[in-house]
Amino acid sequence: MKLYAFTILYKGVKVSTLKAGYDLSSFGYFQRNSVNEFMRFTSQIIVERTLVGSRASVKEQGYLCHVYVRADNLSGVIISDHEYPQRVCFTLLNQVLDDFTNKVPANTWQTAEEKISK
C-alpha cells in the first residue's frame, strides 16, 4: 500500500494547485521529474472533470486517483496504488480539506498562486 501524491486544488474558472506533496522515492532518479509532472497534470484534469460536490476514483496508468470536490470548490486528490483502501482515502481527503479550511481563509483560495511543496 502506497500513497504517491496528495494535492489540494481550487476549482475556479481555472483549476489551481494550492498545496501538493509527492513521495517519489520508489521511482528512479531520472523518472521522478516526469512522474511528478504526470501526477500534477492528472490531478488538475481530474478535478476539472469532476462535478462539484462529488467524489470519484479513477484508474490511470496503473495508479488509482481519488478525488473529492467540495461544494465550496475546494478539492483534493490522492494518487495511490490499487491496494490502498478507497474508504481510507476519502476519509483522509475529508479530514485534510477540513483542516486546510480551518487554517487558510476561503477568500485567499481564488487569488492564490500555485504553491507546490515537493
pLDDT tens, residue order, the chain (118 aa): 899 999 999 998 889 999 999 999 998 999 999 999 999 999 999 999 999 999 999 998 888 999 999 999 999 999 999 998 999 999 999 999 999 999 988 888 877 655 544 4
What is the distance between the alpha carbons of residues 47 and 108, in angstroms, rounded to a whole number?
Answer: 19
Identify the CATH number of the domain in which residue 89 sits: 3.30.450.50
**Residue 112 to residue 45: CA distance in whole angstroms:** 19
| Residue 96 CA neighbour count, 13 Å, CB half | 21
As for how many domains the chain has, the answer is 1
Taking phi over 0 as left and psi of -120 to 50 as alpha, with beta for the rest, 113 belongs to: beta
Whether 116 is in a domain gets the answer no
> Does pTM top 0.75 for this prediction?
yes
Would 55 be classed as within a structural domain? Answer: yes
Residues 6+ apart with CB under 8 A from 30: none
Position 118 in a domain? no
Its domain, for residue 26, covers: 3-108
